[in-house]
Structures are given as C-alpha cells and as structure tokens.
Structure 1
C-alpha cells in the first residue's frame, strides 16, 4: 500500500499570551497527495469554559466554525513532486493571538484514516465518551506512534529487561538526548479501580527491583487525564513518588523538546 504524507497541527486556545497556558480545541490535517485538508474542532467546550471562565463562548464558536469552513474542503491533489506543508504555513501565519497552531509536523502513513483517528484521540481525548477512552494497549499504541511521528530510530518496542519473575514489564526503550529510557504504558481509565491499584502495585514492585539493579531512567506514560477523581489522584500520587509520570500529551511535548512541568500542567491538556 502506497503511503501518504499527513501534515498536522494542533489548534490551541490561549487565553493569555503572556502566561502561555493553552488548551487543545482542534486538530488540522493536510494530505497533499489526496488534495484534502480537514479541521476537527473539539466537541467538549465545557472543558474550555472551565479552563477560562472569562471566555466569550460565542466568539470561540464562531472562530472554530470559520476554521471548519476554511479547511474542510478538497482541491487538486499535488502529484509528481514531494509534498510540502506550504499550504498550511501560508494559511496559518496570521493565527498568533488567542487561537494559535502548534508546529506543523509530518507523518508518513499507509493507514491514513487510522492515523488521523489516533491524532484526534491523542489531542482531543476528552471528546470521547468515558466508555470509549483509552486502555493500556491504546496508550502503548499512541506512544509507539509518537516515536514514529518524531522519527526516532533508536527505539526498542520489545525491551529485553526482565523482572524477578522473568517477565518483561516495560513496553519501550528509547535513546533520547543521549540517555536510554525505559517506558511503561499505563491507563487510569478503569471502571474497576481495584484492577488499577493491582497493576500499579505490581509495577511498583518491579520498579523497586530495577532501581536496585541500577536502572534509574524509567518513565511512565498514562492516558490523557486531568486527575479529577480520588482514585486517579491516589494512583498518580503512588506512582509519581517513585517515577516520572507523563500523560500522552505531555510525553509528546517531551519528545518535541519542550520544557514541561508535569504536575502543574496535568489540568490543561
């Protein structure tokens, strides 16, 4: 199957440019070979209101609807030459105030619809019903996709490190800025929180073993969540005392080289 290039960028609402805080409100994709661009706006505007209680909702709705009109169209496919993000760059140059777009990134895709859905799930996570949210396997898939998006070559998707029971508890090892990281993918989206606590207790046991063996560069990546209920808070507190914990969104920012503050920014993604 021939691959296509998906250029994508994240639309962000920035209430105060000086503070630099933002919340994701849309995902814009552009596929030159298909002559197609698409803007998907967030359906969960309640989170935006909670993020900025001074928001003029009618203004934001109008801006997002105008982006749909501007980008949800088809045009002549670009054939015979390498695809470039110039179309998006030219269209987005004026968005520098309360509506801003992230850096344009490229993904070579042989499964276009699936990869676009992954982008939406990653950056517009709260648009999904609770029953449809992300389990640990889905977190693992999205983390793997992040490595592909960032063109990281030195990634092991089946690390050999074994725990005391000869199991392989880690999902990835990756070389980042000259350091090798071991990564565990977890989800807090459990209806039965006893299962979550059992999984965390098991991983903390493994973590203690690996630290005794001299492994220090271990990270945990969880589903995008604002840690709102008591069960999630307890799970996060137990883990974060022993290891760095990132949401998928935060891990994406880490791979992009951004300086992030894990605890303070949990509530804004």
Structure 2
C-alpha cells in the first residue's frame, strides 16, 4: 500500500460573479491508516467580515454535512461515524475525490493534492497543512 496523503482545500465563494473566495476547510485522507477528516475554519469572524450576507445556519449545515461525509477514524470509541458500511472505500486512492466532487456554488474544493508521507509522519504533516497561512 502506498504512503500518500491526499488533501484538498474547501473554498467559500459567496458571490460567484466576483470570484473572490476564502479558505474555510481542509479535507485530508490517508488510505494506509484508513484515516479521513474534515477540518473546518474556526474563525467565524473572518468569514463574517468576508461575507456581509453570511448565514450561520446554512454555513454550519454545510460544515456538519462535510464532517459527516469525511470524518473517519477506525477503531476509536470517540468515532461518532461508526457506520463502517459508509466507509467501505476508505482505502481507495479516489476516496477523497468521490466525496468532494459534488459541491458547487458557494462551496468548492480545490484540486486534490498529494503528499508523500509515512505512518510515523502523516499526523504531523496534517498539522502543518492545517496551519498554512
């Protein structure tokens, strides 16, 4: 099995005509460890400043939906998505693409990127991706 970490950035584009966007999340997938997670932006004030018509209910609904679709950690008691049948494709390299390609309009994922890593380093690599300015 390969040592590739897949990731993609979620952009929020409230006005498609202006084509301005802000990064609001990061989806990561490491097939070797059956790991997938969606990290959402926690600085709501930054989003409110970016979009004067920000709707917190709609925004939170989309974020919760993405967490439901992407958050998977095997064999942990804290795993709220314990339905194994929803994640039968977790070891496939196309997992992240299949789970993120349906969004359009205000929310869009960037092209999926790849990072060579190892079992010992992938968690640290994810932390570094989260904190990219």
TM-score range, shorter chain: 0.7 to 0.9
Q: Superposition RMSD on alpha carbons, in Å?
A: 1.8
Q: Which runs of 5+ in 2 are unaligned?
A: 74-86
TM-score under structure 2 normalisation?
A: 0.80
Distance 1:91 1:113 in 2: 21
Question: Which structure's CA Rg is the greater one?
Answer: 1
Deviation at 1:90, TM superposition (A): 1.7
Residue correspondence of structure 1 range 101-120 to structure 2 within 5 A = 101-110=109-118, 111-120=121-130
1:3 and 1:109 in contact (8 A); partners too: no
Structure with higher helix content: 1
1:52 maps to 51
2 CA distance for matches of 1:112 and 1:90? 21
**How far apart, CA to CA, are the structure 2 residues paired with 1:59 and 1:96?**
14
Match of 1:210 in 2: none
Deviation at 1:18, TM superposition (A): 2.0
- Aligned partners of 2:70 and 2:99 also within 8 Å: no
Q: Are the aligned partners of 2:9 and 2:27 in contact in 1 as well (CA < 8 Å)?
A: yes
Q: Which residue of 2 aligns with 1:121?
A: 131
| CA displacement at 1:105 relative to structure 2 | 0.5
Residue number in structure 2 paired with 1:99: 107
Equivalent runs, 1:120-159 vs 2, <5 Å: 120-122=130-132
Question: For each residue in 1:156-181, what CA deviation from the matched residue of structure 2 results, as whole angstroms up to 9, or x when unmatched?
Answer: xxxxxxxxxxxxxxxxxxxxxxxxxx
Cα deviation, residue 27, structure 1? 0.6
Q: Distance in 2 between matches of 1:46 and 1:8?
A: 25
Verify the 8 A CA contact 2:38 2:70 in the aligned structure 1.
yes
Runs of 4+ in 1 over 6 A off after TM superposition: none
Pair 1:88–1:3, CA change in 2 (3 A): closer
- The structure whose RCO (Cα within 8 Å, separation 6+) is larger is 2
Q: Using the TM superposition, give the Cα deviation of residue 58 of structure 1 relative to its aligned residue in structure 2, in angstroms.
A: 1.1
1:20-31 alignment, distance < 5 Å: 20-31=19-30
- Distance in 1 between residues matched to 2:37 and 2:68, nearest whole Å: 9
Structure 1 partner of 2:10: 11
Which residue among 89, 97, 105 is the counterpart of 2:97? 89
State the TM-score, normalized to the length of structure 1: 0.41
